């Protein structure tokens, strides 16, 4: 860890003002907001993140969960993962989000990790985290060690020749399926970013992970009103039972009537370089009969574009099984 | 008290944070040392540029080959003294032989400053092609370890054959407590606060490498945040810390990073074992042929004794066990919980399970039919062997009779259930030990011996043994361990610390009581003047005539009247190695492991849902921590079976998953209900109380029982650990 200046921001505008002096809000940013710190401090200890200035935002008034006027939910950026997961409205109306949060990290981490921080969680690619290894995400232009290396846990969707790192967040997968909106306040005012536009594909700039610019502070996330009659589930597959990132996970929100899917929103984790919406599969499901054949076809369609690496070919099959089973659970075709 | 369920006497210290572990030791003026790790696996150091590092805040010095006083090598060991696995002292030459080898060390006022300085040291190398290949190749022709009859001929003519190769990966001990050393010199003498499972050995190695007399080195290790064998012998960081502290003239703390825990402090090496069994159609074994390799480092010959249990576990007329080392650019391996037997029994018990399936025979029945009458390799009787009873009791507890042997046939709650079992064994031994016991005027006793409590409950067991011999209650007994200033004690390894130290402590305690009773009968003010010591007893802290227990005198009064501070006694134990017992008996513990897995084919999700372990390891002095040892070993065995493997990046030669998120071990959620039973047959050959150790046997056979259950549930036989989702997707 290198020396840094620590500032406690007294207002959102003060925090933004300090951060706006930064050259970037992406990898290598000299100014970082400190919320739960579960990713940032970890990466600072590894010398992967070397901010010269930390702006502590923990006491800003961004920690409320409120109903929006349209019946949706507004979640402050500083709402802790544990609080959000156990919130009555979330448990009742957005089960997929509660399940996703509770499948992530450990109870201790969830007690401190925040909504905004989880949105910005960095990849767990082993090469990103080890400064002795080449990594385009950490050091642009240095190369990707993972492509010819130990890539079992890495992405099969949205990869580029420069980066195959997976977005590790469970929460993000649920927010993708719920079509959340990320609200940002920056030097030039506020803006709302559709969830699917918030995270970027690596392409030739894997060090750029989000739509954030210097000074941008995520203030809250909004969820659309819960859809009447819909059920939602999160299924996470991994090697051990707890405290591990997903090899494949699926967030599904579906509405079934008359034996047919009337509505489907599907997203997957553990397989993509960003939280991955399965729009083709959503379209295939909508209007189709709820049966084993339909969901298997949809799952196959969802992984149609998968490009496995040397050690993660199994993820193509595993991800299909994951999505299929999540749909079984959401439609009552399976109970465990 | 013996056989009771006493909580650990050191428990309150640990849960309240008052127990001082090595990395908690903080001394006045102390500096922090952080090593610079090589980022190549093979090559030579060309230059080291520490100029930038030296300019950083708080940095006192940067040392490397050439500016730090060289260390000596430790001479070959004698018995369990002088043992070290990585024998090359740090900075001995410019060669790099494994990734993460220490090439320099930064010293600064804070750990953060030293870490930053270490990161700022620029090292240039010439690199050579390294080898971290997963496929092992013998460095020399295999050597025969054990042989009887003609294993090859008997295998070829056997009507039923199993011929398979089993692989266990490089596993890392990963105790939560990082290895650490705090070195403090006073003139020519040094005190080392160490994470050590063997302070006496540590002193012997360090005094040789530092080139100072034995009495100038004191090694202290009061509490250990577990070791699993990884902290048995000194590692290079300890020598480095001592050397650096000598150079800077103030105490130095060096705490190894989690990353270095995968590189420079040992691991269980990768093994590759071909196992052939030939049997008659009735299941009678005709031949066992066990050939194995284990990976070791370039310089050191670490041998993983996978064939340890093979020659004696079953009756078989033709047998051969042979082995060789395979070299790679990895850190030197070391003993890890159940070294040798644990990977060896994974192979053997998996092969037995495969044989049972080939024979269409119940795996317990197969083992029952091949139960030996004696140890057929040494031709000696077993001191105490109840393997059949372990399997029988285990089968009853597990409900084995309800097993449907067909793959995937058993279902519960929408999941497929798989059952598997394995037998296991672990050597029983006793080592030399000395102890002293002091009975004091205030009615307390103090026990001293330089063994260690590595989390297994040694403090508590010795308090119980002393209480048993003196009648002084456990809460009035102070046990002092983990300090070379105490009477020499054994290593905390091999599951023999308990068996070794009990005779020494018992006899020391009895000697102290005799001394006390002697004072009660002689001397001008003795309360029982004229009586014979044998006519007296010490009960509940009072000395009385056996014939008149009601008229007792507090022991403190006896000591006061004699004007003596304390009654002391010393005792010792002798090793079984080369001793009479080992010429007369085959000394082993036995057990049977039963595993249940649940399997969801749709998602390839596999979990261990239930475990039964029945252990025959002599008499349990304190069953509570003993059960804890077996439970912990089973949880570790689940990790061995399903999760753990250090993965080397073939291009860099680095163990790349060197952290606890990517090298996964069992979590609480992975630990199922574990039913532990001790048969509790005293093994009086080993010591008067009949106790053997239980630190390791719970891991033996566990992975084989789980992979047998995996096969039963899924039809997939995994012969290369760990079992992975990608293996199970084939089901």
Same domain for B209 and B313, yes or no, is no
Specify the pLDDT at position B499. 87
Residue B619 lies in a domain: yes
Cβ-contact A323, A233 below 8 angstroms: no
CA distance A223 to A98: 13
Instruction: Tell me, yes or no, whether A63 lies in a domain.
Output: no
Share of residues in chain B with pLDDT > 90 (%): 94
Q: How far apart are CA B614 and CA B571, in angstroms?
A: 33
DSSP assignment, residue B9? T
Across the interface, whether the CB atoms of A244 and B116 are under 8 A apart is answered no
CA closest to B723 among chain A residues:
A239
Confidence band for B498, pLDDT divided at 50, 70 and 90: confident
Joined tokens for residue B459: 């403090």
Residue A195 and residue A202: Cα distance in Å, rounded? Answer: 16
Interface of B with A in 643-672 (CB under 8 A): 643, 647, 649, 651-652, 654, 656-657, 659, 661-662, 664, 666-670
Q: Is the dihedral of CA A86, A87, A92, A95 positive or negative?
A: negative
Q: Are residues B419 and B519 in the same domain?
A: no
Would you call B18 exposed, middle or buried from its count of C-beta atoms within 10 A (0-12, 13-18, 19+)? exposed
Q: How many domains does chain A fold into?
A: 1
Residue B162 lies in a domain: no
Closest approach of chain A CAs to the CA of B442, in angstroms?
46
B729 touches chain A (CB under 8 A): yes
User: Tokens for B306?
Assistant: 């996978």
B interface mutation test: which of A50, A105, A130 has the most B CBs within 10 A?
A: A130
pLDDT at position B5: 80
Q: Which two tokens stand for residue B477?
A: 């007994």
Which of A1, A124, A245 is opposite residue B112, by nearest beta carbon? A1
| Interchain contact A314–B (C-beta under 8 A) | yes
Give residue B1's pLDDT. Answer: 64
Within this chain, do residues B92 and B202 fall inside the same structural domain, yes or no? yes
Is A201 touching B (CB cutoff 8 A)? no
Is A253 a member of any domain? yes
CB contact under 8 A, B642 and A1: no
CATH code assigned at B644:
3.30.365.10
At B495 the pLDDT is 87
Length of chain B: 731
Select from A211, A212, A196, A209 the least CA-distant residue to A160. Answer: A209
Residue B166 within a domain: no
Given the residues B263, B596, B631, B696, the one annotated as active site: B696
Distance (Å) of CA B622 to CA B6, B532, B694: 7, 34, 11
- Give the whole-angstrom CA distance, residue B462 versus residue B506: 9
Q: Shortest Cα distance from B221 to chain A (angstroms)?
A: 28
Tally the domains of chain B. Answer: 3
> Among A126, A244, A321, whose Cβ lies nearest the Cβ of B602?
A321
Q: In angstroms, what CA-CA distances link A60 with A13, A35, A83, A185, A191?
A: 10, 10, 17, 13, 19
Q: CB distance from A323 to chain B under 8 Å? A: no
Does the CB of A6 have a partner CB in chain B at under 8 Å? no
Query: Could you count the other beta carbons within 10 Å of the beta carbon of residue B610?
Result: 18
Kind and range of the H or E run holding B440: strand B433-440
Q: Are residues B666 and B565 in the same domain?
A: no
Q: How close B702 gets to chain A, by Cα (Å)?
A: 17
Report how far residue B313's alpha carbon sits from residue B425's, in angstroms, rounded to the nearest whole number: 7
Question: Which chain A residue lies closest to B122 (C-alpha atoms)?
Answer: A132
Task: For B529-595, give the DSSP string.
Answer: TTS-GGGEEEETTEEEETTEEEEEEEHHHHHHHTT-SEEEEEEEE--STTSHHHHH-B-EEEEEEEE
Give B-chain residues touching A2 at CB under 8 angstroms.
116
Q: Do B661 and A325 touch (CB under 8 A)?
A: no
Which residue from A129, A145, A240 is facing B670, i.e. has the nearest CB? Answer: A240
Chain B residues 332-391 within an 8 A CB cutoff of chain A: none
Which DSSP category does B214 fall into? G
Same domain, B628 and B548: no
Same domain, B117 and B31: yes
Per the listing, tokens 């004191």 go with: B218
For residue B261, is pLDDT > 70?
yes
Residue A279 resides in a domain: yes
pLDDT tens-digit series, residues B542-577: 999 999 999 899 999 999 999 999 999 999 999 988
Q: Give the residue numbers spanning the domain of B480.
A: 433-575
Q: How far is A117 from chain B (nearest CA, A)?
A: 19
Whether the pLDDT of residue B53 is over 70: the answer is yes
* pLDDT at B248 exceeding the cut of 90: yes
SS3 B173: coil
Pick the residue from chain B with its C-alpha nearest to A146. B649
Q: Which of B198, B227, B261 represents a domain boundary (last residue)?
A: B261
Looking at chain A, the number of H-run helices and the number of E-run strands are: 12, 12
Q: Which residues in B lie closer than 8 A to residue A296 (C-beta atoms)?
A: none
Both tokens of B505, joined, read 């402590």
Taking the C-alpha atoms of residue A166 and residue A156, their distance in angstroms, rounded to an integer, is 9
Please indicate whether, in this complex, the C-beta atoms of B651 and A148 are within 8 angstroms of each other: yes
- For residues B489 and B599, state if they share a domain: no
Domain final residue pick, B232, B261, B290: B261
B52 interfacial to chain A (CB closer than 8 Å): no
**Nearest alpha carbon to residue A295 among A264, A257, A335:** A264
Average pLDDT over residues B133-144: 98
- Considering the domain architecture, whether residues B186 and B282 belong to the same structural domain is answered as no
**Which residues face B62 on adjacent strands?**
B106
Same domain, residue pair B217 and B346: no
Given B548, B575, B602, which residue is the final one in a domain?
B575
**A305 in a structural domain:** yes
Q: Do B685 and B724 lie in a common domain?
A: yes
Average pLDDT in chain B: 96
CB neighbourhood size of B727 (10 A): 19
Q: Does residue B687 register a pLDDT over 90?
A: no
Q: Give ipTM to 2 decimals.
A: 0.97
Query: Residue B546 and residue B534: Cα distance in Å, rounded?
Result: 9
What's the domain range around A290? 230-331
User: Which of A109, A314, A323, A327 would best serve as a mutation to test chain B binding (most B beta carbons within 10 A)?
Assistant: A314
Could you tell me whether strands A217-223 and A181-186 are parallel, antiparallel, or unpaired per DSSP bridges? antiparallel
Q: Which of residues 225-284 of B touch A (CB under 8 A)?
A: none
Q: What is the mean pLDDT of residues B158-173?
A: 98
Place of tokens 């959503």: A282
pLDDT at B2: 75
Task: Identify all chain A residues contacting B662, using CB atoms and an 8 Å cutoff.
Answer: 124, 126, 153
* B397-452 residue pLDDT tens: 999 999 999 999 999 999 999 999 999 999 999 899 999 999 999 999 999 999 99
Q: Which of A2, A47, A325 sits opposite B602 (nearest CB)?
A: A325
How many other C-beta atoms lie within 10 A of the C-beta of residue B153?
13
Chain A residues with CB-CB distance to B260 below 8 A: none
Residue B115: inside a domain, yes or no?
yes
A280 part of a folded domain: yes
User: Counting one residue from A and one from B, how many pairs have CB atoms under 8 Å apart?
Assistant: 87
Q: How big is chain A, counted in residues?
A: 336
Residues in CB range of B651: below 8 A, 6 or more apart: A145, A148, A149
Strand partners, B477: B445
Q: Which residues of B touch A245 (CB under 8 A)?
A: 661
Of all residues in chain B, what percent carry a pLDDT higher than 70?
100
Confidence band, pLDDT 50/70/90 cuts, at residue B15: very high
Please write down the long-range contacts of A305-310, taking CB distance under 8 Å and 24 or more positions apart.
Answer: A305/A157, A306/A156, A306/A157, A306/A271, A307/A156, A307/A157, A307/A159, A308/A156, A309/A146, A309/A147, A309/A151, A309/A154, A309/A156, A309/A159, A309/A164, A310/A148, A310/A151
The answer as to whether B138 is a domain residue is no
Quote the tokens at residue B513: 């009581």
In the residue annotation, B631 being an active-site residue is answered as no
Is residue B618 domain-resident? yes
* Residue B686 pLDDT: 85
Give Dmax over CA atoms of chain B in angstroms: 86
In a domain, B145, yes or no: no
How many angstroms separate the Cα of B439 from the Cα of each of B46, B64, B536, B556, B696? 62, 51, 16, 9, 34
pLDDT reported for residue B577: 86
Torsion of Cα atoms, B533 then B539 then B545 then B550, to 10°:
170
Judge: B725–A314 Cβ closer than 8 Å, yes or no.
yes
Q: What is the DSSP letter of B402?
A: G
The answer to whether the Cβ–Cβ distance between A237 and B605 falls below 8 Å is yes
Indicate whether B406 and B345 sit together in one domain. Answer: yes
Q: Is residue A238 part of a domain?
A: yes
- Give the chain B residue nearest A130 (alpha carbons): B656
CA of residue A254 relative to chain centroid, distance: 20
Same structural domain, B352 and B412: yes
Chain A residues touching residue B656 (CB < 8 angstroms)? 126-127, 130, 149-150
From the first residue on, what is the mean pLDDT of each consecutive set of 10 residues in chain A (336 residues)? 92 97 95 97 95 97 97 98 98 98 97 98 97 97 97 98 98 98 97 98 98 98 97 98 97 98 98 98 98 98 98 98 98 95
Alpha-carbon distance values, A147 to A169, A313, B522 (Å)? 21, 13, 84
Instruction: For residue A294, give the CATH number of its domain.
Output: 3.30.390.50
Task: Report the distance separating Cα A57 and Cα A13, nearest Å.
Answer: 11
Structure tokens at B19: 């127990």
Does B343 have pLDDT greater than 90? yes
Residue A286 inside a domain? The answer is yes
Domain contains B160: no
Contact: A149, B116; criterion CB under 8 Å: no
Reported as a single tens digit per residue, the pLDDT across B699-716 is 999 999 999 999 999 999
The answer to whether position A91 is within a domain reads no
């Amino acid at each position: 860890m290198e020396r840094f200046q620590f500032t406690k921001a007294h207002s959102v505008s003060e925090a933004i003002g300090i951060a706006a002096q930064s050259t970037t809000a992406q990898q290598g940013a000299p100014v970082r907001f400190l919320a739960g710190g579960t990713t940032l401090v970890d990466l600072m200890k590894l010398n992967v993140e070397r901010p010269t200035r930390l702006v502590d935002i923990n006491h800003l008034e961004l920690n409320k969960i409120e109903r929006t006027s349209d019946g949706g939910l507004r979640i402050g950026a500083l709402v802790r993962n544990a609080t959000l997961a156990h919130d009555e409205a979330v448990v009742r109306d957005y089960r997929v989000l509660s399940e996703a949060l509770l499948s992530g990290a450990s109870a201790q981490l969830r007690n401190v990790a925040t909504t905004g921080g989880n949105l910005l969680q960095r990849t767990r690619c082993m090469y990103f985290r080890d400064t002795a290894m080449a990594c385009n995400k950490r050091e642009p232009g240095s190369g990707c060690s993972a492509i010819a290396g130990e890539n079992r846990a890495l992405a099969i969707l949205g990869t580029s020749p420069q980066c195959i790192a997976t977005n590790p967040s469970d929460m993000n997968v649920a927010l993708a399926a719920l079509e959340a909106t990320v609200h940002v306040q920056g030097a030039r005012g506020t803006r709302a970013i559709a969830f699917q536009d918030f995270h970027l594909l690596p392409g030739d700039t894997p060090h750029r992970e989000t739509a954030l610019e210097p000074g941008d502070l995520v203030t809250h996330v909004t969820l659309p009103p819960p859809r009447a009659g819909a059920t939602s589930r999160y299924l996470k597959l991994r090697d051990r039972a707890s405290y591990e990132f997903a090899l494949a996970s699926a967030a599904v929100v579906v509405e079934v009537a008359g034996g047919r899917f009337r509505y489907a929103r599907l997203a997957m984790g553990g397989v993509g370089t960003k939280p991955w919406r399965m729009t083709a599969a959503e379209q295939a499901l909508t209007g189709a009969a709820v049966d084993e054949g339909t969901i298997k076809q949809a799952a196959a369609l969802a992984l149609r574009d998968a490009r496995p690496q040397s050690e993660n070919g199994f993820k193509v099959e595993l991800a299909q099984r994951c999505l299929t089973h999540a749909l079984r659970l959401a439609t009552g075709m399976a109970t465990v | 008290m013996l056989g009771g369920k006493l909580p650990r006497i050191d428990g309150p210290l640990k849960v309240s944070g008052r127990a001082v572990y090595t990395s908690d030791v903080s001394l006045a003026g102390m500096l922090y040392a952080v090593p610079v790790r090589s980022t190549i696996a093979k090559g030579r150091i060309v230059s080291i540029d520490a100029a930038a590092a030296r300019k950083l805040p708080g940095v006192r010095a940067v040392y490397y080959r050439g500016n730090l006083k060289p260390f000596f090598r430790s001479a070959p060991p004698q018995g369990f003294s002088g043992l070290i696995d990585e024998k090359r002292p740090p900075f001995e030459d410019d060669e790099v032989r494994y990734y993460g080898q220490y090439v320099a060390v930064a010293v600064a006022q804070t750990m953060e400053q030293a870490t930053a300085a270490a990161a700022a040291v620029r090292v240039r190398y010439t690199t050579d092609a390294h080898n971290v290949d997963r496929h092992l190749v013998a460095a020399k022709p295999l050597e025969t370890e054990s042989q009887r009859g003609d294993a090859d001929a008997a295998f070829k003519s056997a009507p039923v054959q199993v011929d398979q190769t089993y692989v266990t990966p490089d596993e890392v001990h990963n105790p939560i407590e990082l290895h650490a050393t705090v070195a403090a010199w006073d003139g020519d003498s040094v005190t080392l606060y160490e994470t050590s499972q063997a302070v006496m050995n540590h002193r012997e190695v360090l005094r040789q490498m530092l080139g100072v007399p034995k009495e100038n080195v004191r090694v202290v290790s009061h509490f250990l945040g577990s070791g699993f064998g990884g902290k048995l012998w000194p590692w290079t960081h300890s020598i480095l810390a001592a050397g650096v502290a000598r150079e800077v003239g103030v105490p130095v703390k060096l705490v190894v990073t989690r990353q270095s825990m995968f590189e420079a402090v040992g691991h269980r090496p990768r093994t590759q074992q071909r196992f052939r069994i030939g049997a008659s159609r009735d299941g009678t074994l005709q031949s066992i042929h066990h050939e194995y390799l284990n990976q070791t480092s370039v310089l050191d010959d670490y041998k993983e004794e996978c064939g340890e249990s093979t020659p004696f576990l079953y009756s078989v007329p033709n047998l051969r066990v042979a082995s060789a080392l395979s070299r790679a650019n990895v850190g030197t391996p070391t003993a890890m919980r159940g070294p040798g037997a644990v990977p060896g029994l994974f192979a053997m018990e998996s092969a037995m399970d495969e044989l049972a399936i080939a024979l269409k025979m119940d795996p317990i029945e197969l083992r029952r039919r091949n139960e030996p009458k004696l140890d057929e390799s040494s031709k000696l009787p077993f001191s105490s062997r109840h393997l059949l009873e372990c399997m029988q009791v285990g089968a009853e507890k597990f409900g084995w009779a309800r097993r449907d042997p067909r793959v995937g046939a058993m279902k519960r709650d929408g999941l497929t259930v798989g059952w598997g079992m394995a037998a296991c064994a672990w050597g029983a031994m006793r080592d030399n030990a000395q102890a002293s016991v002091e009975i004091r005027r205030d009615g307390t006793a103090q026990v001293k011996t330089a063994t260690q409590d590595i989390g297994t409950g040694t403090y508590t067991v010795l308090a119980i043994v002393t209480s048993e011999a003196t009648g002084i209650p456990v809460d009035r007994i102070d046990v002092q361990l983990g300090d070379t200033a105490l009477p020499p004690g054994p290593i905390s390894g091999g599951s023999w610390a308990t068996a070794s130290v009990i005779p020494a402590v018992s006899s020391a305690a009895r000697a102290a009581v005799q001394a006390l009773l002697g004072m009660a009968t002689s001397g001008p003010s003795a309360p029982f003047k004229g009586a014979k010591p044998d006519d007296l007893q010490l009960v509940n802290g009072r000395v009385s005539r056996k014939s008149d227990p009601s008229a007792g005198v507090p022991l403190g009064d006896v000591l006061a009247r004699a004007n003596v501070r304390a009654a002391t006694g010393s005792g010792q134990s002798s090793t079984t190695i080369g001793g009479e017992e080992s010429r007369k008996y085959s000394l082993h513990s036995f057990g049977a492991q039963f595993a249940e897995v649940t399997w969801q084919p749709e998602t390839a999700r596999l979990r261990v849902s239930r475990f039964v372990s029945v252990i025959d390891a002599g008499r349990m002095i304190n069953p509570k921590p003993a059960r804890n040892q077996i439970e912990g070993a089973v949880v570790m065995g689940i990790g061995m079976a399903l999760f753990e493997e250090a993965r080397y990046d073939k291009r860099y030669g680095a163990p790349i998953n060197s952290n606890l998120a990517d090298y996964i071990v069992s979590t609480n959620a992975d630990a199922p209900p574990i039913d532990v039973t001790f048969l509790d047959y005293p093994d009086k050959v080993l010591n008067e109380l009949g106790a053997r150790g239980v630190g390791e046997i719970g891991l033996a056979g566990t992975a084989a029982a789980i992979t047998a259950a995996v096969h039963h549930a899924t039809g997939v036989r995994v012969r290369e650990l760990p079992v992975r989702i990608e293996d199970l997707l084939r089901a």
